[in-house]
Chain A
Amino acid sequence: DTEVTQTPKHLVMGMTNKKSLKCEQHMGHRAMYWYKQKAKKPPELMFVYSYEKLSINESVPSRFSPECPNSSLLNLHLHALQPEDSALYLCASSHRYDRVYQPQHFGDGTRLSIL
């Protein structure tokens, strides 16, 4: 079982809806990540949080809004998404993003479908 827990596992939403994805880890990691993965493709980095502060935004559209309420939780708020945003959204964590050679551990993702 993965130590990074993501909810919900599946989400279907219309283009005008607002929804949120949740990620939780209890490994004491201080870096957390959001990735987007399309079918048969590798994960693409979206955001990096370090010590609950947004450190990296890989030029992600503003319809995706990340939030890190505490060191164990990471949310991704979704609003006015487009059909091309349908994908598997993965959360990952690592000890610290500024500590070298630290592997990232992934959750099982939320399968998002935009109608």
Chain B
Amino acid sequence: QQQVKQSPQSLIVQKGGISIINCAYENTAFDYFPWYQQFPGKGPALLIAIRPDVSEKKEGRFTISFNKSAKQFSLHIMDSQPGDSATYFCAASNNSGGSNYKLTFGKGTLLTVNP
């Protein structure tokens, strides 16, 4: 019940296209959903995060869509650029117990944006 299922495992998109990565969770206690971007040889960098009281959050070309009833959330990258080529991890945590230390990660999506 602690899993976060992420798909696809890999994704190839043309420059200017839309990249979509999906995540699904089972634990209804999850209430914080960050996305991390990781380039080779670097650590994960926080990209954007959402709480279930909103259905969508946008920051620049990156948008999280959240469907609480379906227990799904997704990352959309508009106008994808070669510089967006990286591994993307979705994650979830349960903050109801007063702590947020435990991040449950998806398995990651390797995004390649072709020029």
Instruction: Return chain A residues, CB-CB under 8 Å to B91.
Output: 42
Q: Which residues of A contact B43 (CB under 8 A)?
A: 2, 4, 6, 90, 92, 106-109
Which residues does chain A contribute within 8 Å of B106, judged by CB atoms? 42
- A sample of 12 inter-chain contacts (CB < 8 A) reads A2-B43, A40-B110, A48-B101, A99-B100, A101-B51, A103-B34, A103-B49, A104-B103, A106-B36, A106-B43, A106-B44, A109-B42
Q: Which of A's residues lie within 8 Å of B, judged by CB?
A: 2, 4, 6, 31, 33, 40-43, 45, 48, 55-56, 90, 92, 94, 97-109, 111
Residues of B within 8 A of A31 (CB): 101
Residues of A within 8 A of B76 (CB): none
Determine if B105 and A97 form an interchain contact, defined as CB atoms under 8 angstroms apart: no
Most buried by A among B43, B46, B105: B43
Contacts A101-B32, A104-B46, A108-B43; is A56 near B108 (CB within 8 Å)? no
Q: How many residues of B contact A (CB 8 A)?
A: 25
B60 at the binding interface (Cβ < 8 Å): no
Interface of B is mostly: loop
| Smallest beta-carbon distance B108→chain A, Å | 6
- Chain B nearest Cβ from A47, distance in angstroms: 10
A101 to B43, CA, bound (A): 20
Mask: chain B, 63-102; 1 = CB below 8 Å from A; 0 = not: 0000000000000000000000000010100010011111
Distance A73 CA – B82 CA, assembled complex (angstroms) = 36
